Amino acid sequence: MTQLSVGSLFSGIGGFCMAFSNEGYTVKWANEFDPKACQTYRYNFQHPLYEQNIREIQHPEQLGYVDVITSGFPCQAFSLAGYRQGFCDQKGRGNLFFETARFIEAIQPKAYLLENVKNLVSHDQGRTFTVIRDTLTKELNYSFIPFILNSKDYGNVPQTRARIYIVGFKDEGHISTSLNENVKDNIFFKSTIPLS
């Protein structure tokens, strides 16, 4: 089987990258803006890290093709702990999902994996979630399969931290499942869609 490749957006200190590396994927590149996070990231990884505002990367395809794009786009604009300004966030963080969409459109990976706060689902009475779903399915033709995981159940972490994860596959924009909080019942885990 061919080794699959990953590109990581909003990579932080590399949590997604470490998980994918541990499963045999090759992380080809990553992007992160925070200098301290980048310092830690570089300590753990040797592949290219683009330490810059994602908006400054004008031609994502020049970073190189990857099979999977991961994105933990900023959650402050959607979190219950913040002002919940969403796409209208005055610091511009709420619109960074669209930068992820821009990378997906330019690179055309086989799949994507997004992560954000659980409140993304209900933010702005569900309208934010609908915009994200429609962008991925109707505009980019990727499936949209959301589910919620809590780190205390899956990560051996002594903290309740429920997060939403959204998975999608190329050329399957007709597939959009409703949020299923029981991850074992989610279509993604029953899917036979091959990535290779």
> Quick one: which of 37, 30, 27, 33 has its CA closest to 4?
27
Q: Which residue out of 17, 38, 75, 88 is catalytically annotated? A: 75
Q: Are 123 and 129 in contact (CB under 8 A)?
A: yes
Catalytic residue flag (residue 38): no
Residue 111 β-bridge partners: 68, 169
> Which are the catalytic amino acids?
75
